[in-house]
Structure 1
């Protein structure tokens, strides 16, 4: 796919920045939903006991909407190329954002949330894939970490806008969604200057070669033991960690409200929290290619566990509880499971099904987040609800930390081609996948190569 004639060609850190904006509008949409649910509820579903709010959150970019988008977008990214996704996904996102901005009833709001989620789900795995494929091996973690930094700025700016526009009520929420639409369209225009991934073109046999079908690549993903073990590992660390992260992101205003904080106080505090996340992420980017993966992951996991212990067991109405939680969670979010997942997921899979693998894991992660989003606000509304939810989330964080620390992959600083050789015994090509699947049934293609 050629570069748009009026777009400047993007390489290096400029390309990283353009791709990373997927993460900004992903997190920005989640925070826009979190800060606006109360305003939408008073207008379109007054008296809600948390059920409707939970459904809206579950089918948005926070969960089910993104799961479907990732499951579809990942294989399409492997079939038609990384740039193909960037040509269309943000236009879909802008459509969903416009529907929400001008929503006049609950049905429009729901449809807009779902469309935004589909676009987010399709673009995020493509972004991690694209960056990993062009970044230098000794700086791959730093480049991929930029997506985490962009993700952190979404809530920071989103909560800041929510605090500034809080006096406007629902109109302020509409403005926040409108700003995401504008950023999506500007980013779409800038991305027309991206080149197609050279690794993807080489894997399918050159720029003029026909890529394998999306089904062939997805089927081949499950034909090797090395892939299956990697899928299980990544799904566990990211899914378990993301339960705490997603509830922090979309229901933190509710938690603070139950602690007696006003909407303005909650938004300003959340903005502070994400400012600390930005600092933690900057530290992560500086160290991820230097400090062994295993020990850096362990530090992030322990900080996350400590943060939720403080929130669940600390004095419920004490400001010190909230501020200690913010400091610990913010610093943990640098070397978090999501940050390491975004580095490990493109490293552990061959080029022809790299995006599809990430789409599948993203599907599992956001599906789990969607399911727990249906019950989290209901439990939170019960007696000692924060303690109950906190104990569940602490358990998830402990599991993620243990799994990631014990089985951290030894891929740091290695070129993707070298990692493929070590894991598969060869560099996997699209033509090899087609020939393997054409000559043998699924059960016969499995291999024990790691």
Structure 2
């Protein structure tokens, strides 16, 4: 049979399917929103409850930005393969809403910490499920466009979060409580919309095949199957190099960027937040007009390279250029566009493409967990390092991570554009893994 004969006929994606994509992609808005809500309020909570910079690092490390999400991903990924994509994106938001309410009404450090951890676990469980579901349901010729919807939601979250921080800034801690409550409301609406969404077609086919053959499936089946196939090891290493290294930088940028701006000479909280609104607005624009428009039409290798290179340029300027508005605006523009075209969007796309259906979500969960652990380890010491060795020396670590991610993603970018998940699976494993 010819390759062309194997390809499914191109069909127009109905609006109802786009509705499902958007509803599931809201996990990424909520994830980013949770990180930014904490980033813009950590100093306020620190002042209200009187903890030191060491505790700031611990809270950040246990949040949706790091270890909290890592725990959720390691639980949610395998459950997503075992019980279905819908199971996770139906119930994870309930945990998220409980955490958001705890922070909204917290009266001490303990309640704040518990709420942060619960939100982190929910985010970690939900994001791998959303990336997997969207990619599985997307037409082959529009996969980047649909997966990019999750990245778009992830970009809009910080833009709105920082804008809200500016609006409620005069209210202090009360303003931060309002931001967390807004996340509760968004999560509740998203949960309600998701209740009527169908299960992933590919997961249902996979599950039917397992029932037909009498295969024994457990919580650990996805991870065991993933690690038992040596071809997956290279893909795991590649994606960890692309996303894990980049995200270690982005994770600090997301939650500690106000402190980085302060170290670079910008001390006004309002100006810091305005600059972040610019960063994330440009990220959203680059995602829509760049990744979503061209990810299915041009060389992904060079699209990735352009985005990754802009990220390196952004941090070189911020670290080494003379302090001032020129360097700050150059950073904001380059980093914003880079984040829209770069590692996270490609991670969501390539992770869905490079693994078989029966352990696709487990691979997402494992990679997301490892990436968040990497963020968490640096978050534990980032505030202390920033104040002790300064931005210039710390910046060398940042640049090393970004350059490594650039080289790994550019050199080993897979050629999967326009191919169905079944075709990619056949090429990688020699035969369809779930056959």
| TM-score in terms of structure 2 length | 0.94
Task: Establish whether residue 299 from structure 1 lines up as the match of residue 302 from structure 2.
Answer: no
Tell which deviates more after alignment, 269-278 or 353-362.
269-278
2:232 to 227, 230, 234: 227
2:25 to 20, 25, 29: 20
Contact 2:282 2:340 in 1 (8 A): no
2:427 to 422, 427, 439: 422
Paired position in structure 1 for 2:198: 195
Q: How many residues align?
A: 418
Tell which deviates more after alignment, 266-275 or 299-308.
266-275
- What is the deviation of 1:334? 1.7
Q: Distance in 1 between matches of 2:322 and 2:331?
A: 12
- What is the deviation of 1:243? 1.6
Paired position in structure 2 for 1:263: 269
Deviations 1:142-164 (A, max 9, x none): 10001000000110000000000
Paired position in structure 2 for 1:98: 101
1:250 to 251, 255, 262: 255
Contact 2:70 2:370 in 1 (8 A): yes
Deviations 1:215-243 (A, max 9, x none): 12211111111111111111111111112
Paired position in structure 2 for 1:341: 347
Paired position in structure 1 for 2:11: none
Q: Distance in 2 between matches of 1:208 and 1:97?
A: 39
Q: Which runs of 4+ in 1 moved over 6 A?
A: 207-211
- What is the deviation of 1:335? 1.6
Task: Establish whether residue 376 from structure 1 lines up as the match of residue 382 from structure 2.
Answer: yes
Q: Distance in 2 between matches of 1:204 and 1:272?
A: 45
| TM-score in terms of structure 1 length | 0.91
Task: Establish whether residue 309 from structure 1 lines up as the match of residue 322 from structure 2.
Answer: no
Q: Distance in 2 between matches of 1:295 and 1:266?
A: 32
Deviations 1:297-329 (A, max 9, x none): 11111100000000110113x111110000110
The answer for unaligned runs of 5 or more in structure 2 is 1-13
- What is the deviation of 1:268? 1.4
Deviations 1:330-387 (A, max 9, x none): 111122111100000010000010000010000110000000011111111125x111
Q: Distance in 2 between matches of 1:392 and 1:26?
A: 26
Correspondence 1:17-56 to 2 at 5 A: 17-46=22-51, 48=52, 50-56=53-59
SS in 2 for 1:334: helix
Tell which deviates more after alignment, 213-222 or 175-184.
213-222
Paired position in structure 2 for 1:119: 122
- What is the deviation of 1:420? 0.7
Contact 1:204 1:212 in 2 (8 A): no
- What is the deviation of 1:205? 1.8
Q: Distance in 2 between matches of 1:256 and 1:293?
A: 32
Task: Establish whether residue 88 from structure 1 lines up as the match of residue 91 from structure 2.
Answer: yes
Tell which deviates more after alignment, 126-135 or 419-428.
419-428
Paired position in structure 2 for 1:62: 65
Tell which deviates more after alignment, 219-228 or 74-83.
219-228
Contact 2:278 2:333 in 1 (8 A): no
Deviations 1:92-135 (A, max 9, x none): 10001011111110010000000000000000000010011110
Paired position in structure 1 for 2:156: 153
SS in 1 for 2:416: coil
**Cα RMSD after superposing both structures:** 1.5
The answer for unaligned runs of 5 or more in structure 1 is 1-8, 433-450
